[in-house]
Amino acid sequence: MTDIQELLPLVALNLASPEERAAVQAALESSAALRAEYAQLRVALTGLGATTAEVPPAGLKAKILAAARADNLAAPAFVRPAPQMKRSAPKPQFSRGLPWLMGGAATFLTAIAVVFFAIMQSSPSINATAVVSTPQGDLVYANSGEMSRTAPVVLVRANGQKIPVVFAANKACKFEAAVSSDGLTYLLDSANNKVFILEESTGKLVDEWDVPANATAMDVVAGTVVVRSSKVALIFRRNQSGEKSMVEARISTQSKGTSVDAAVIDGQRLFITDQDMGLVRVLEVGTGRELMQFKAAKAPVSLAVRDGLWVLDAVGALYHLDLQTGAVLDSMKLEGAPSLLRLTDERIFVADKQGFVTVLDWQKKVIVARKRLQNLPMALSSMPDGHVAVALEKRGIVVLDNKLDVVKTVY
C-alpha cells in the first residue's frame, strides 16, 4: 500500500492535515484508478446510514477492535518520522513524546479505517449477478448464492434509497438475467427454475413462473417474454390482466450440446445465438418456427437490436447485420474475449472475461476507452442517461459514464 493510499481513509474521514489533503488531491487528479478507489472508500466509510439500517455481520466489532489493538501495540513501526526542525532553545522534556503520541493516534485511526474497509470489501453486502436499469434511472439488482437467502433482490432509487424485495425460494438463487419492460422487472433464477416479476414503482413481487431447468437467457419486449434453456425456447405472452400463454420452440441443431447464450426480440421475430454452430437463429415469436439462420460470427455470444442486429463474437469482433437478411453491414475487431454487449444512444459497451470494459464510438469506428475493473463483470445494463451499470463479481455495482469514469458505486 502506498503512502497516498494510507492517507485516503484519513481524508475520507476529514482527519487529514491540510498538507496531506493537498497531496491526496494532487494524486487523485492524476490517477483514475486512485479516484475510483477513493470513491469506493468514501461510500464504505461515509455512506453508512444513508439508507435503511442493516445489522452488521457477526463478529465485525470484535475483528475491528482486535485488529486495532494489534496495530496500536506495533505503532512505532508505522509512525511517519516527525519533521526535523531547528530549535533556538531546548524544549521541555515531556514534548519529546508528543510526536509519537500524535503519530500513534493517526496510525490507530488509519488502522481502524483500513481494517474496516478491508472487512467491508471481503464481506460485501452485494453479490449481484444480474442488474437492470429502469426507464426512470432506478436500478434493480439480484444477489446470487447464500446472500440471496436474506436479500435476493433490491430496488435502488436514483436518490440512493434501497427497497428490498424478499420472496421465498427453495434454495439459494442463481440469477442469470434481469430485464425491465413496461414498468415490470423480470428476473431469471436458474437455481429455482423461476422467473420472478416485480413492480418497479413499489418493488412488490407480482408473479412468478416456472421455467425449464438450467435456463440461461431471457429477453422481454412489452408482454412477450422469452426464456431459453439449451435447445428449448419458451415464448410467453402476458396480457394486461397478468394471464399468460406459452409457445415452446425447439431449436434444431446438429450439435449435441448447443450453447445458446443470448436472445433478443424485434417485433414478431426472436433472434437467438447458437455458439457451437456459429449461428444466429431467427424464430417466429407466435409459433416458435425457425424462419432463417444468420452466419457471421464464429462464436456469437451476445446480441442487441438497434438500427440492425448487433452480434458480439467471443473470439474478438463486433458485427452489424441487416435485420432482414443477415448480411454484414460492418464489423470491428476487438481485444480480448468479449462476452457482454450493451448499446446506448451514443456508445457501445462491451465487457470481456478478463475483467475489461470497452466503450466504442461506432460512427467514428474508434475505441473511446478500455479499462480493467477490479472484478469480473457479471452483467451490464445501459441506463437512460447514457451511462452503464456493471455488476462486479462480489464487489457490488459500479456506474460508468461513456468514458468509463466512475459515476457512483452501490454496495
What residue has cell string 492535515? 17
Is the distance from CB of 410 to CB of 154 less than 8 angstroms? no
pLDDT of residue 238: 80
Integer Rg of the chain from CA: 26
How far apart are alpha carbons 306 and 45 in whole angstroms?
41
pTM for the structure as a whole? 0.68
How far apart are alpha carbons 95 and 327 in whole angstroms?
81
Helix (H, G, I), strand (E, B) or coil at 295: coil
pLDDT of residue 43: 55
Backbone angles phi, psi at 259, to 5 degrees: -115, 100
Q: How many CA atoms lie less than 13 Å away from 115 in the CB half-sphere?
A: 19
pLDDT of residue 371: 95
pLDDT of residue 334: 94
Helix (H, G, I), strand (E, B) or coil at 340: strand
- CB-based burial, 185-218: b 16+ in 10 Å, e otherwise: bbbbbbbbbbbbbbebeebebeebbebeeebbbb
Helix (H, G, I), strand (E, B) or coil at 81: coil
What residue has cell string 432482414? 324
Q: At 389, list the grid cell.
A: 451499470
Q: How many CA atoms lie less than 13 Å away from 35 in the CB half-sphere?
A: 13
pLDDT of residue 42: 66
* Ramachandran category for residue 188: left, alpha or beta (phi over 0 → left; psi -120 to 50 → alpha): beta
pLDDT of residue 83: 47
How far apart are alpha carbons 217 and 150 in whole angstroms?
25
How far apart are alpha carbons 10 and 35 in whole angstroms?
15
Looking at this protein, which amino acid is placed at residue 111? A
What residue has cell string 474496516? 116
Looking at this protein, which amino acid is placed at residue 379? A
- For 338-404, give the DSSP string: EEEEEE-SS-EEEEETTSEEEEEETTTTEEEEEEE-SS-EEEEEE-TTS-EEEEETTS-EEEE-TT-
Taking the CB of residue 336, how many other CB atoms lie within 10 A of it? 17
pLDDT of residue 235: 86
Domain ranges of the chain: 3-80+95-122
- Give me the tens of pLDDT residue by residue for the chain, a chain 411 residues long: 567 877 877 777 777 787 888 888 888 878 877 877 777 676 555 444 334 444 455 555 565 556 555 554 444 443 444 445 444 444 444 344 444 444 554 554 554 554 444 444 444 568 899 999 999 999 999 999 887 877 889 999 998 899 998 888 888 999 999 999 999 999 999 999 999 999 999 999 999 999 888 788 888 988 889 888 777 888 888 887 878 888 888 776 555 444 445 778 887 888 988 888 889 999 988 888 899 999 989 999 999 999 999 999 999 999 999 999 999 999 999 998 999 999 998 899 999 989 999 999 988 889 999 999 989 999 999 999 999 999 999 889 999 999 999 999 998
Backbone angles phi, psi at 291, to 5 degrees: -95, -40
CA dihedral 29, 33, 37, 39 (to 10 degrees): 50
pLDDT of residue 378: 93
pLDDT of residue 44: 59
pLDDT of residue 288: 85
Helix (H, G, I), strand (E, B) or coil at 34: helix
pLDDT of residue 352: 93
Backbone angles phi, psi at 94, to 5 degrees: -65, -20
pLDDT of residue 80: 44
pLDDT of residue 240: 78
> Among 300, 292, 293, 295, which residue's Cα sits nearest to residue 316?
300
